[in-house]
Amino acid sequence: MKDTTTTDATTTAAAQPTAGPPAAGATADSVDDRPSDEAILAYERSLKETLLASHPLVSAPLPYALLAAEYAAADSPLFLAKIASLTADHPDGTLRAVRKDGNCFFRAFGFRLCELVVTDRLRAAPSSSQWRTAVLRRVEESRQALKSAGYDPIVTEDFFEPFDEALKAESVDALLEKFQIEYISDTIVCYLRLVTAATLKLNEDLYSAFILDKYPTLNDFIGAEVEPMNIEADHIHIVAMVNAFGVNVLVDNLDLSAGTNMNVHDFSPFEPFEGEAAAGAKEKVIELLYRPGHYDLLYRK
């Protein structure tokens, strides 16, 4: 705790030892030229931003071999064994790398949800069309959910617009282009964070148990770990997104657990789609590759 006792300038100055001569080899300029703490922090932020900017927000599809190469350099035999098993089971599989900036789950979820809607529309299969209609209905309902949770529509509609446009992209390439534009991509992430927050607020009895060991109230948790950008997602964020949009999410864990196969966690909505839309939901799954602190998109073929 800071000392709040005040003294006059004369007393303070008298309490200080008289400055002696500079140490050998030191000059007044050498002391004055040292960067301030603020300058050091600004430099570190700039360096981090430069490093992040060198990685795309969402990449084009990449072979699993690049993932193996990353861990070969890090000398991680257990990770390599699991990647080798994944590659053997799905030799034509790919992944999309997502920038490691704390928003990776929401960015990956948002891109894949839009990609599934866009590809379904382009294929125009009857059963899939029912699924797409059901998802878009949930998307529309999310706008009302934000209003019911107390968010100002004047603000949230500005966040919704890029998300709506991404869902209507003419092709996957056009969608990727949108997600690689930082302003558009981050605005969609922001909207999804608000939808997550609204889902939690409107179902407090359901979600409070997830956070009581860390925060006194659900609103405290939302203010600290849901609404702010660049905060990593956890189990509760995934559950909320799955329930908000009615989609299934698989999370493949690339971790140090025993065995050569990755553990897969299946997240399904509490209120799944019905009828033909349910049939489409079994095929339209968002699959994520999780490594400690980071999510990428996984495609098994």
Residue 271 and residue 247: Cα distance in Å, rounded?
A: 10
Catalytic residue among 114, 186, 252, 294: 294
104 catalytic residue (yes or no) = yes
Catalytic residue among 104, 114, 190, 252: 104
294 catalytic residue (yes or no) = yes
Q: At what angle do helices 126-148 and 276-283 cross, to 10 degrees?
A: 90
Q: Do the beta carbons of residue 196 and residue 69 sit within 8 Å? A: no
Going by C-alpha positions, the residue among 250, 239, 251, 246 that lies closest to residue 281 is 246
**Contacts of the segment 167-173: beta carbons below 8 A, 24+ positions apart:** 167/114, 167/117, 167/118, 167/136, 167/139, 169/114, 169/118, 171/118, 171/122, 172/115, 172/118, 172/119
DSSP 8-state secondary structure symbol assigned to residue 23: P
**Contacts of the segment 207-210: beta carbons below 8 A, 24+ positions apart:** 207/236, 207/239, 207/240, 210/235, 210/236, 210/239
190 catalytic residue (yes or no) = no
Residue 93 and residue 71: Cα distance in Å, rounded?
A: 18
Dihedral pair phi/psi, residue 280, rounded to 5°: -65, -35
Catalytic residue among 32, 101, 186, 190: 101
Size of the chain, expressed as the number of residues it contains: 301
Residue 298: CB atoms within 10 A of its CB come to 25
Active site residues: 101, 104, 294
